[in-house]
Protein backbone atom coordinates (compact mmCIF):
# COMPACT_ATOMS: atom_id res chain seq x y z
CA UNK A 1 0.00 0.00 0.00
CA UNK A 2 2.80 2.44 0.82
CA UNK A 3 4.02 2.38 -2.80
CA UNK A 4 0.65 3.22 -4.37
CA UNK A 5 0.42 6.22 -6.70
CA UNK A 6 -0.74 9.38 -4.97
CA UNK A 7 -2.82 11.27 -7.51
CA UNK A 8 -4.31 14.04 -5.37
CA UNK A 9 -2.51 16.67 -3.34
CA UNK A 10 -4.11 18.95 -0.77
CA UNK A 11 -2.45 22.22 0.20
CA UNK A 12 -3.63 23.53 3.55
CA UNK A 13 -3.55 27.29 4.15
CA UNK A 14 -3.88 29.45 7.25
CA UNK A 15 -5.70 27.47 9.96
CA UNK A 16 -5.82 24.22 7.99
CA UNK A 17 -2.88 22.17 9.16
CA UNK A 18 -4.34 18.66 8.78
CA UNK A 19 -7.35 16.85 7.29
CA UNK A 20 -9.63 14.31 9.00
CA UNK A 21 -10.79 10.72 8.44
CA UNK A 22 -7.53 9.54 6.92
CA UNK A 23 -5.06 6.91 8.01
CA UNK A 24 -1.50 8.12 8.31
CA UNK A 25 0.81 6.21 5.96
CA UNK A 26 4.07 8.12 6.10
CA UNK A 27 5.70 11.52 6.08
CA UNK A 28 8.11 12.41 3.25
CA UNK A 29 10.30 15.43 2.60
CA UNK A 30 11.51 15.22 -1.02
CA UNK A 31 14.41 17.39 -2.10
CA UNK A 32 13.73 19.07 -5.44
CA UNK A 33 15.97 21.24 -7.66
CA UNK A 34 14.15 24.17 -5.95
CA UNK A 35 14.82 22.93 -2.42
CA UNK A 36 12.56 21.28 0.13
CA UNK A 37 8.80 21.94 0.42
CA UNK A 38 7.32 24.20 3.13
CA UNK A 39 6.87 21.19 5.39
CA UNK A 40 7.20 17.43 5.20
CA UNK A 41 4.32 16.01 3.16
CA UNK A 42 1.90 13.64 4.87
CA UNK A 43 0.80 10.67 2.81
CA UNK A 44 -2.52 9.38 4.13
CA UNK A 45 -5.03 6.78 3.01
CA UNK A 46 -8.80 7.00 2.51
CA UNK A 47 -10.83 4.06 3.91
CA UNK A 48 -10.71 2.60 0.38
CA UNK A 49 -6.91 2.61 0.50
CA UNK A 50 -6.53 5.45 -2.03
CA UNK A 51 -3.73 7.68 -0.89
CA UNK A 52 -3.50 11.47 -0.91
CA UNK A 53 -0.69 13.89 -0.10
CA UNK A 54 -1.17 16.78 2.35
CA UNK A 55 1.16 19.77 2.53
CA UNK A 56 0.87 22.77 4.81
CA UNK A 57 1.67 25.95 2.85
CA UNK A 58 3.16 28.02 5.65
CA UNK A 59 5.17 25.19 7.20
CA UNK A 60 4.96 23.48 10.55
CA UNK A 61 3.90 26.05 13.18
CA UNK A 62 2.95 28.54 10.41
CA UNK A 63 6.48 29.95 10.23
CA UNK A 64 6.71 30.92 6.51
CA UNK A 65 5.28 34.27 5.44
CA UNK A 66 3.26 34.36 2.19
CA UNK A 67 6.02 36.04 0.15
CA UNK A 68 8.54 33.35 1.15
CA UNK A 69 6.50 30.19 0.59
CA UNK A 70 8.75 27.89 -1.49
CA UNK A 71 6.02 27.29 -4.06
CA UNK A 72 8.33 25.79 -6.70
CA UNK A 73 9.59 23.20 -4.23
CA UNK A 74 6.03 22.56 -3.00
CA UNK A 75 4.63 21.82 -6.44
CA UNK A 76 7.71 19.95 -7.66
CA UNK A 77 7.70 17.79 -4.51
CA UNK A 78 4.01 16.98 -4.87
CA UNK A 79 4.47 16.08 -8.53
CA UNK A 80 7.46 13.87 -7.69
CA UNK A 81 5.12 11.78 -5.52
CA UNK A 82 2.81 11.15 -8.48
CA UNK A 83 0.31 13.93 -7.71
CA UNK A 84 -1.57 15.16 -10.79
CA UNK A 85 -4.30 17.32 -9.22
CA UNK A 86 -4.15 19.78 -6.35
CA UNK A 87 -6.97 21.12 -4.23
CA UNK A 88 -5.64 24.14 -2.36
CA UNK A 89 -7.32 25.87 0.57
CA UNK A 90 -6.91 29.56 1.42
CA UNK A 91 -8.21 32.08 3.93
CA UNK A 92 -9.31 35.14 1.95
CA UNK A 93 -10.74 38.61 2.42
CA UNK A 94 -14.09 39.37 0.80
CA UNK A 95 -14.48 42.35 -1.53
CA UNK A 96 -18.25 41.83 -1.91
CA UNK A 97 -21.03 42.40 0.63
CA UNK A 98 -22.79 39.13 -0.23
CA UNK A 99 -19.64 37.04 0.39
CA UNK A 100 -19.84 37.26 4.17
CA UNK A 101 -17.09 35.93 6.44
CA UNK A 102 -17.56 32.17 6.75
CA UNK A 103 -18.57 31.79 3.08
CA UNK A 104 -16.80 29.35 0.77
CA UNK A 105 -15.79 30.36 -2.75
CA UNK A 106 -14.34 28.47 -5.70
CA UNK A 107 -12.84 31.21 -7.89
CA UNK A 108 -12.23 30.99 -11.62
CA UNK A 109 -10.08 34.09 -12.24
CA UNK A 110 -7.05 35.80 -10.68
CA UNK A 111 -5.69 39.36 -10.71
CA UNK A 112 -1.95 39.42 -9.99
CA UNK A 113 -0.89 42.07 -7.52
CA UNK A 114 2.26 40.30 -6.33
CA UNK A 115 5.34 42.41 -6.86
CA UNK A 116 7.74 40.21 -8.76
CA UNK A 117 9.67 39.15 -5.65
CA UNK A 118 8.38 35.57 -5.70
CA UNK A 119 9.95 33.17 -8.18
CA UNK A 120 6.95 32.49 -10.39
CA UNK A 121 8.29 30.12 -13.03
CA UNK A 122 10.22 26.86 -13.04
CA UNK A 123 11.98 28.21 -16.12
CA UNK A 124 13.25 31.34 -14.34
CA UNK A 125 17.04 31.42 -14.22
CA UNK A 126 17.38 28.70 -16.86
CA UNK A 127 18.34 28.86 -20.54
CA UNK A 128 14.92 27.53 -21.53
CA UNK A 129 11.95 29.76 -22.31
CA UNK A 130 8.32 28.72 -21.96
CA UNK A 131 5.00 30.58 -22.04
CA UNK A 132 2.24 28.64 -20.31
CA UNK A 133 -1.40 29.32 -21.17
CA UNK A 134 -2.97 31.08 -18.17
CA UNK A 135 -6.20 32.62 -19.50
CA UNK A 136 -8.11 30.15 -17.34
CA UNK A 137 -5.82 30.03 -14.31
CA UNK A 138 -7.68 27.19 -12.58
CA UNK A 139 -8.45 23.81 -14.07
CA UNK A 140 -11.93 24.13 -15.49
CA UNK A 141 -12.95 20.49 -15.15
CA UNK A 142 -11.62 20.18 -11.62
CA UNK A 143 -13.41 23.40 -10.63
CA UNK A 144 -16.71 22.13 -12.07
CA UNK A 145 -16.28 18.76 -10.37
CA UNK A 146 -15.51 20.42 -7.04
CA UNK A 147 -18.43 22.86 -7.15
CA UNK A 148 -20.94 20.01 -6.77
CA UNK A 149 -18.91 18.21 -4.09
CA UNK A 150 -18.31 21.29 -1.96
CA UNK A 151 -21.99 22.27 -2.17
CA UNK A 152 -22.96 18.75 -1.08
CA UNK A 153 -20.58 18.92 1.89
CA UNK A 154 -21.86 22.34 2.97
CA UNK A 155 -25.50 21.18 2.67
CA UNK A 156 -24.72 18.14 4.81
CA UNK A 157 -23.06 20.28 7.45
CA UNK A 158 -26.36 22.14 7.82
CA UNK A 159 -24.99 25.45 9.14
CA UNK A 160 -26.08 27.36 6.06
CA UNK A 161 -22.54 28.11 4.88
CA UNK A 162 -22.86 29.61 1.39
CA UNK A 163 -20.81 28.61 -1.64
CA UNK A 164 -19.99 31.15 -4.37
CA UNK A 165 -18.57 30.22 -7.75
CA UNK A 166 -17.20 32.04 -10.81
CA UNK A 167 -15.44 34.73 -8.77
CA UNK A 168 -12.20 36.65 -9.23
CA UNK A 169 -9.47 36.59 -6.60
CA UNK A 170 -6.83 39.30 -6.25
CA UNK A 171 -3.46 38.03 -5.04
CA UNK A 172 -1.52 40.79 -3.27
CA UNK A 173 2.00 40.86 -1.93
CA UNK A 174 1.59 41.30 1.82
CA UNK A 175 2.47 40.70 4.55
CA UNK A 176 0.62 43.94 5.38
CA UNK A 177 -3.03 44.08 4.41
CA UNK A 178 -4.27 46.50 1.70
CA UNK A 179 -5.01 50.18 2.21
CA UNK A 180 -8.60 51.29 1.99
CA UNK A 181 -7.87 52.91 -1.39
CA UNK A 182 -6.39 49.67 -2.76
CA UNK A 183 -9.31 47.63 -1.45
CA UNK A 184 -11.81 49.96 -3.19
CA UNK A 185 -9.73 49.86 -6.38
CA UNK A 186 -9.73 46.04 -6.43
CA UNK A 187 -13.53 46.11 -6.30
CA UNK A 188 -13.58 48.50 -9.25
CA UNK A 189 -11.29 46.13 -11.14
CA UNK A 190 -13.79 43.32 -10.65
CA UNK A 191 -12.09 41.56 -7.74
CA UNK A 192 -14.36 39.57 -5.43
CA UNK A 193 -11.78 38.12 -3.02
CA UNK A 194 -8.25 38.83 -1.90
CA UNK A 195 -5.43 36.68 -0.54
CA UNK A 196 -1.63 36.51 -0.53
CA UNK A 197 -1.11 32.91 -1.67
CA UNK A 198 -2.82 31.81 -4.86
CA UNK A 199 0.14 33.09 -6.88
CA UNK A 200 2.59 31.85 -7.90
CA UNK A 201 1.03 28.52 -6.83
CA UNK A 202 -1.50 28.46 -9.67
CA UNK A 203 1.10 29.53 -12.28
CA UNK A 204 3.53 26.87 -11.18
CA UNK A 205 0.84 24.20 -11.14
CA UNK A 206 0.10 25.08 -14.77
CA UNK A 207 3.78 24.84 -15.75
CA UNK A 208 4.07 21.49 -13.99
CA UNK A 209 0.94 20.25 -15.83
CA UNK A 210 -0.91 19.81 -12.55
CA UNK A 211 -4.66 20.36 -12.32
CA UNK A 212 -5.23 23.02 -9.68
CA UNK A 213 -8.30 24.48 -7.97
CA UNK A 214 -8.73 26.73 -4.95
CA UNK A 215 -11.27 26.45 -2.17
CA UNK A 216 -11.29 29.92 -0.63
CA UNK A 217 -12.83 30.59 2.77
CA UNK A 218 -13.76 34.18 3.60
CA UNK A 219 -12.54 35.51 6.93
CA UNK A 220 -13.16 39.28 6.69
CA UNK A 221 -14.30 42.20 4.53
CA UNK A 222 -10.81 43.54 3.89
CA UNK A 223 -10.81 47.37 4.08
CA UNK A 224 -13.28 48.69 1.50
CA UNK A 225 -16.36 49.21 3.72
CA UNK A 226 -16.47 52.91 4.62
CA UNK A 227 -18.22 52.48 7.99
CA UNK A 228 -16.23 49.44 9.16
CA UNK A 229 -12.79 49.03 10.67
CA UNK A 230 -10.05 47.97 8.26
CA UNK A 231 -9.13 44.28 8.43
CA UNK A 232 -6.78 43.14 11.19
CA UNK A 233 -5.12 39.79 11.81
CA UNK A 234 -7.26 39.45 14.96
CA UNK A 235 -10.41 39.70 12.84
CA UNK A 236 -9.10 37.02 10.47
CA UNK A 237 -8.29 34.70 13.39
CA UNK A 238 -11.88 34.97 14.69
CA UNK A 239 -13.27 33.13 11.65
CA UNK A 240 -10.24 30.99 10.88
CA UNK A 241 -11.03 28.10 13.20
CA UNK A 242 -14.68 27.70 12.14
CA UNK A 243 -13.61 27.91 8.49
CA UNK A 244 -10.88 25.32 9.03
CA UNK A 245 -13.37 22.94 10.73
CA UNK A 246 -15.72 23.28 7.76
CA UNK A 247 -12.80 22.90 5.34
CA UNK A 248 -11.93 19.58 6.97
CA UNK A 249 -15.51 18.39 6.45
CA UNK A 250 -15.41 19.56 2.86
CA UNK A 251 -12.09 17.81 2.29
CA UNK A 252 -13.48 14.58 3.76
CA UNK A 253 -16.52 14.68 1.44
CA UNK A 254 -14.44 15.56 -1.61
CA UNK A 255 -11.95 12.82 -0.89
CA UNK A 256 -14.72 10.24 -0.36
CA UNK A 257 -16.19 11.10 -3.75
CA UNK A 258 -12.78 11.05 -5.25
CA UNK A 259 -12.54 7.29 -4.95
CA UNK A 260 -15.66 6.86 -7.08
CA UNK A 261 -14.38 9.39 -9.60
CA UNK A 262 -11.04 7.67 -9.92
CA UNK A 263 -12.62 4.37 -10.74
CA UNK A 264 -14.98 5.63 -13.42
CA UNK A 265 -14.88 7.90 -16.43
CA UNK A 266 -14.37 10.99 -14.31
CA UNK A 267 -10.72 10.10 -13.74
CA UNK A 268 -9.76 12.35 -16.65
CA UNK A 269 -10.79 15.34 -14.51
CA UNK A 270 -7.66 14.87 -12.48
CA UNK A 271 -5.46 14.61 -15.55
CA UNK A 272 -6.83 17.64 -17.38
CA UNK A 273 -3.54 19.50 -17.63
CA UNK A 274 -1.38 16.60 -18.78
CA UNK A 275 0.24 17.54 -22.10
CA UNK A 276 -0.63 21.22 -21.63
CA UNK A 277 2.98 22.45 -21.84
CA UNK A 278 3.78 20.58 -25.03
CA UNK A 279 3.59 23.65 -27.27
CA UNK A 280 4.50 26.21 -24.61
CA UNK A 281 8.24 25.53 -24.60
CA UNK A 282 10.33 27.41 -27.18
CA UNK A 283 12.07 25.15 -29.69
CA UNK A 284 15.29 23.60 -28.57
CA UNK A 285 18.43 25.52 -29.45
CA UNK A 286 22.15 25.10 -28.82
CA UNK A 287 21.78 27.74 -26.14
CA UNK A 288 19.75 25.40 -23.92
CA UNK A 289 22.08 24.05 -21.27
CA UNK A 290 22.07 20.34 -20.42
CA UNK A 291 21.92 21.09 -16.70
CA UNK A 292 18.81 23.22 -17.20
CA UNK A 293 17.11 20.46 -19.17
CA UNK A 294 17.98 18.06 -16.38
CA UNK A 295 16.54 20.42 -13.77
CA UNK A 296 13.29 20.83 -15.69
CA UNK A 297 13.08 17.07 -16.23
CA UNK A 298 12.23 16.87 -12.52
CA UNK A 299 8.78 18.37 -13.23
CA UNK A 300 8.37 17.68 -16.95
CA UNK A 301 10.24 14.45 -17.68
CA UNK A 302 8.25 13.92 -20.91
CA UNK A 303 9.87 16.99 -22.48
CA UNK A 304 13.29 17.09 -20.92
CA UNK A 305 14.45 13.51 -20.45
CA UNK A 306 16.75 12.20 -23.14
CA UNK A 307 17.32 13.64 -26.58
CA UNK A 308 14.09 12.63 -28.26
CA UNK A 309 10.34 12.80 -27.75
CA UNK A 310 10.47 16.51 -27.04
CA UNK A 311 8.62 19.05 -29.14
CA UNK A 312 11.09 21.70 -28.01
CA UNK A 313 13.91 19.50 -29.29
CA UNK A 314 12.68 19.32 -32.85
CA UNK A 315 13.72 22.77 -34.08
Ligand X SMILES: CSC[C@H]1O[C@H](OP(=O)(O)O)[C@H](O)[C@@H]1O
Ligand Y SMILES: Nc1ncnc2[nH]cnc12
- In the set 32, 108, 195, 253, which binds ligand X (CB under 6 A)? 195
Q: Report the phi/psi class of residue 287: left, alpha or beta, with left for phi > 0 and alpha for psi in -120 to 50.
A: alpha
CB of 38 to ligand X, least distance (A): 10
On whether 57 is known to bind a ligand per the annotation, the reply is yes
Exposed / middle / buried, residue 28 (Cβ in 10 Å: 0-12, 13-18, 19+):
middle
Binder of residue 13, out of ligand X, ligand Y, none (CB less than 5 to 8 A by kind): ligand X
104 vs 270, beta carbon nearer ligand Y: 104
* Residue 57 binding: pick among ligand X, ligand Y, none (C-beta 5-8 Å cut-off by kind): ligand X
Site string for ligand X, 49-88 (x = CB under 6 A): --------xx-------x----------------------
Active site residue 220: yes
Compute the least distance from the CB of residue 25 to ligand Y, in Å: 31
d(CA 38, CA 14): 13
* Burial state string for 157-192 with b = 16 or more CB within 10 A and e = fewer than 16: eeeebebbeebbbbbbbbeebbeeebbbebbeeebb
Residue closest to ligand Y, measured at CB? 93
Output 265-271 pairs: Cβ under 8 A, ≥24 positions apart: 266/145, 268/141, 269/85, 269/141, 269/142, 269/145, 269/211, 270/7, 270/8, 270/84, 270/85, 270/142, 270/211, 271/84, 271/85, 271/211
The answer to whether 18 is a known ligand-binding residue is no
Applying CB under 6 A, among 153, 163, 218, 236 the residue interacting with ligand X is 236
Q: How far is the CB of 246 from ligand Y (least distance, A)?
A: 15
- Known binding positions for phosphate: 14, 57-58, 90-91, 197
Binding site for ligand X (CB under 6 A): 13-14, 57-58, 66, 90-91, 174, 195-197, 233, 236
- Known binding positions for substrate: 196, 220-222
Amino acid sequence: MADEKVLIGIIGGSGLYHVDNLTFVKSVNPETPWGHPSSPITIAALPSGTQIAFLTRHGVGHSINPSSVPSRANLAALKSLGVRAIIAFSAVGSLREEISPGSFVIPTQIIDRTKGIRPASFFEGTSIVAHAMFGDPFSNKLVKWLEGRVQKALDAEGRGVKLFTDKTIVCMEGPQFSTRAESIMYRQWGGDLINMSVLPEAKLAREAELSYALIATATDYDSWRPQSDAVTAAEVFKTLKANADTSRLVAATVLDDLQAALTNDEASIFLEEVGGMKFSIMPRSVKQKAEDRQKLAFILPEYFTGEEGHHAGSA
